[in-house]
Amino acid sequence: MSASGDSKIKFKGVRRRKWGKWVSEIRVPGTQDRLWLGTYATPEAAAVAHDVAFVCLRESMAADKLNFPTLTLPAGVGPGMSPGSVQTAASNAGMAVDAQLRLNNLPPDVANQRGGDNNRWGGEATGEVVSWSQEGSGSSEQAQPLSVSVEDYWNIT
């Protein structure tokens, strides 16, 4: 499956804007409020943001409710977070997926200059399933929270 805007897969909590960007939002349980999760370049990134928010808000990893049932949450993210913290965690996860997909689409020489082979977070797309996992070089390495800034996201050329 391609990470392009031509994706025919329909993800939960994701819709496409007229101008091609993908957006994600989720309802806050027990209210009529919707929590805005962000705007993304790819539907996969918006779907990951939705899944992170779903697990945090509903305290469930029910496979039939998630876009990516094998999703591994970043350290420090989980049930019991405030809506604002959920929004931040979901947005960070979605931005990281967008950045990784963009990096994977760069020519090899540019990707190597950006550290493409040494990234700690990687994505592997196979058919309709996308899994995201932390890659480490040693077993004694401590898990670190996902940290992506807007500058990291937009400076990929």
Number of structural domains in the chain: 1
Distance set, CA 98 to CA 36, 93, 147 (Å):
17, 9, 13
Q: Is residue 1 in some structural domain?
A: no
**With 70 as the cut, is the pLDDT of residue 1 above it?**
no
pLDDT at 74: 78
Tell me the CATH number at 77.
3.30.730.10
pLDDT at 118: 38
Q: Is residue 95 in some structural domain?
A: yes
Tell me the C-alpha distance between 47 and 58, whole Å.
16
Domain that includes residue 50, residue range: 14-135
pLDDT at 12: 92
pLDDT at 107: 62
CB atoms within 10 A of CB 106: 15
Q: Is residue 78 in some structural domain?
A: yes
Q: Is residue 18 in some structural domain?
A: yes
Give φ, ψ of 33 to 5 degrees. -75, 145
Q: Is residue 154 in some structural domain?
A: no
CB 130 within 8 A of CB 124: yes
110-126 pLDDT, tens digit per residue, is 444 444 443 333 444 33
Q: Is residue 26 in some structural domain?
A: yes
**Token pair listed for 15:** 């819709």
**With 80 as the cut, is the pLDDT of residue 97 above it?**
yes
Q: Please name which of 136, 135, 12 lies closest in space to residue 68, comparing C-alpha atoms.
A: 12
HSE, CB side, 13 Å, CA atoms: give it for residue 141.
Answer: 10
Partners of residue 128 on adjacent β-strands? none
Q: Is residue 49 in some structural domain?
A: yes
Q: Is residue 140 in some structural domain?
A: no
CB 73 within 8 A of CB 92: no
66-94 pLDDT, tens digit per residue, is 898 888 877 788 888 888 999 999 999 99
Q: With bands split at pLDDT 50, 70 and 90, how would you rate the model's confidence at 106?
A: low
Higher pLDDT, 63 or 149: 63
**Token pair listed for 110:** 């540019």
